[in-house]
Chain A
């Protein structure tokens, strides 16, 4: 047998439409049946079903590949299957209790056990106020019987009422309106039973109504609504209202015409000529249903009324994804009229709060936070009331304009807080609030998605930059003690380079250098002296030490903290055409101008391109010379010449790349 999972709880079961052993749910509504059809191995592999089961457990929305639900929908059009499903659902209802968690569209039979009758319920309902009920006649009684009943009933009921009922029932034209109001097509005995049941056993009444044709069922539910207790669960209210709306959508004027004419033929009244007249009466009836619902929910406390409206529209539209029955749309339109003044007032408050936040933003986060808290509360409260309207609009492919404007205003506030006041957290909070509250507005959601991505990117970049800064601090920071007895501190950090309490800021350092001298006596090594120096515009600081580890660590840090900057600045300057002096040579982007000394004549300036130059180290100095001219040489002692290492690094890198310009070494 086919493996499947339950649409309600995700438990494994056999057969797409069977009752779930775990939660007792049986698919009954069209949506549940379609989903159940999709959740079986006819349409998905066991592995995919496992994923869907997990989605159901996690209360995630099920997302099927395109066409799956269409295929399921198409299959569910098979008349024999439809008939079988009717049987399955009825069996399940008879055999089992209500599922542990309500499916989105519970059947009335499931909901019936939850009907709570109000204490101050009227003795007579709209059902009893129809002319047929007043005179206790049926749709198949002839004119004579109606007149007789009117006379008889006048003895116990208001005479004028009886006379009016008689008059309307015997007038073929007026009669149609009453017939549509009554219970066309059902037996007199059954109609009488409904009039009794509605007074004494509302559960049974609603349960029996389940099997009636749409018009009769709608009339029966509408009549019962005025008996519902305000304390009844919002879910149950919503379920019955949805049922009424759904049934009223299915009323077919041709069917009603046929039923009315069958009864008229028996009663001896002229037949109704065409469906147009019935159509008109059905339209009137739909208006009545809307009023009946409105009157019923007007009795509810405000909070519950909002909950009911939200439940109704969420259920009817599958959270805005499908079109609702016409009656629901009309109901929501009436609701919108009712809450308009509240929404406008609250929208004004939101606008004022936005203004306050803007003007307080310059005072910092502390000033803004309590105002944003307040804005959060007001918007959430506002949304609670506007939610049914937003969902209904979404199901019609529209957006609730007032919500849209408010969302965009708040979004604008978030953008300004970020752009003008660098309040990233506050901007993110507003974005999250809007995403929570205005999920039914596609345009807003799209923009918020973009905002959210932008904020995340900025946040990520900031974190990355912060990390890089931290890494850099760690990379360039060092502190070493120098001296045997009286120790001095050699230190480098983002604050500068420091020796003997004198500090030069990193950005003020204009030259650096270092080197070592090996000492020996009679050829016997006696140790190495290490030298480091740096200078700014005014002073040169020199350090001599003999600990190699301190020396090598420090120059590594000094290179990273200062050397790289000096190199970059020099290359940038060369690219702009600047020239730099090193000893008696002039450096430019394309080569060097060297000085060739003559013993008996003036020095000669020799220009050489990089292709004509070579570089080497000797005697603690950097040498740059012309390839074919041994006398044209620049000698820069590492321990004394500024930035000899910087120049050497640039030239050696340049020789590796082969570019004609020194400044182009970073291009690759």
Chain B
């Protein structure tokens, strides 16, 4: 809030604008109904026709880590909201990006901010709300979190975080975690995929039915 705003009696307007902006951010990152409205009528109708579940009843294998048991969420924004809220059992948050999809299942690659853990998540985005369940070894934060990943493939993940954020739709951009929180991690951490993760990526990529890097 600037000094001139106070003098000119515009403090209330500024606070109002700020409050509205904050409310908008909150709605983008947490309000599932609002998120669904952003997807367009057809998509919203499609999502609402699907069951609101935490886990598929016919899912096989580890929840979220096996493509046969994907995490139900509400559309592309629901994916961002879910994964941004996800943290390891040690409390480490993650950056993520979408590698592609295997039929209707989206595949995301994620890395902790410290670079110590690399993961692959399978997400089913055709549901009206996001799952309240976390994959084994992870937990969901109680509070909504600003977005820390992307629905697009990042060629130089995670080093191209700033570019990817810049390329995001303007409305979503304000819901992202500030670069000031991310860039110091980039500068001090060497993000190197471990051998097992590379092998997993190979398998997943060989199964992709669509991908965004080609």
Say which residue of B61, B68, B195, B206 sits within 8 Å of A15 (CB atoms): B206
Determine the interface band of chain B, counting residues with CB < 8 A from chain A: 20 to 34
Contacts of A84 in B (CB 8 A): 66, 200, 203-204
Known: A1-B206, A14-B206, A15-B206. A37 touches B199 (CB 8 A): yes
Contacts of A85 in B (CB 8 A): 203
Contacts of A77 in B (CB 8 A): 196
Say which residue of A1, A18, A83 sits within 8 Å of B61 (CB atoms): A83
* Assembled-state Cα–Cα distance A37/B197 (Å): 12
A17 near B202: Cβ-Cβ < 8 Å: yes
B120 near A80: Cβ-Cβ < 8 Å: yes
Residue of A nearest to B66 (CB): A83
**A87 an interface residue at 8 Å Cβ cutoff?**
yes
* Assembled-state Cα–Cα distance A10/B202 (Å): 19
* Assembled-state Cα–Cα distance A485/B103 (Å): 108
Known: A80-B62, A83-B66. A17 touches B195 (CB 8 A): no
Known: A72-B195, A75-B195. A88 touches B61 (CB 8 A): no
**A78 an interface residue at 8 Å Cβ cutoff?**
yes
B194 near A75: Cβ-Cβ < 8 Å: yes
Kindly provide the distance from the CB of B203 to the nearest chain A CB, expressed in whole angstroms. Answer: 5
Say which residue of A42, A71, A88 sits within 8 Å of B203 (CB atoms): A88
* Assembled-state Cα–Cα distance A76/B196 (Å): 6
Contacts of A644 in B (CB 8 A): none
* Assembled-state Cα–Cα distance A79/B202 (Å): 16
Residue of B nearest to A13 (CB): B206
Total inter-chain residue pairs, C-beta < 8 Å: 65
With a 10 A CB-CB cut-off, give which of B119, B197, B198, B205 has the most chain A CB atoms: B198
A78 near B203: Cβ-Cβ < 8 Å: no
Contacts of B206 in A (CB 8 A): 1, 14-15, 18
Known: A83-B62, A83-B65, A87-B67. A2 touches B203 (CB 8 A): no
Contacts of B66 in A (CB 8 A): 80, 83-84, 87
Per DSSP, chain B at the interface is helix
A2 near B202: Cβ-Cβ < 8 Å: yes
Say which residue of A37, A79, A83 sits within 8 Å of B195 (CB atoms): A37
Known: A42-B195, A75-B194, A75-B196. A15 touches B65 (CB 8 A): no
A80 near B202: Cβ-Cβ < 8 Å: no
Contacts of B67 in A (CB 8 A): 87
Chain B 51-84 per-residue mask, 1 if CB under 8 angstroms from chain A, else 0 = 0000000000110011110000000000000000
B65 near A80: Cβ-Cβ < 8 Å: yes
Residue of A nearest to B65 (CB): A80
Chain B 133-168 per-residue mask, 1 if CB under 8 angstroms from chain A, else 0 = 000000000000000000000000000000000000
Contacts of B203 in A (CB 8 A): 15, 17-18, 81, 84-85, 88
- A15-B206, A72-B195, A76-B199 are known contacts; what are 4 more A-B pairs with Cβ within 8 Å? A1-B206, A75-B196, A75-B199, A83-B62
Residue contacts A-B, CB under 8 angstroms, 14 given? A15-B202, A18-B203, A71-B195, A74-B196, A76-B196, A77-B196, A78-B196, A79-B62, A80-B65, A80-B119, A81-B196, A83-B61, A84-B204, A87-B66
5 A-B pairs closest in CB distance:
A78-B196, A75-B196, A75-B195, A15-B202, A15-B206
Interface of B toward A, CB cutoff 8 Å: 61-62, 65-68, 119-120, 194-200, 202-206
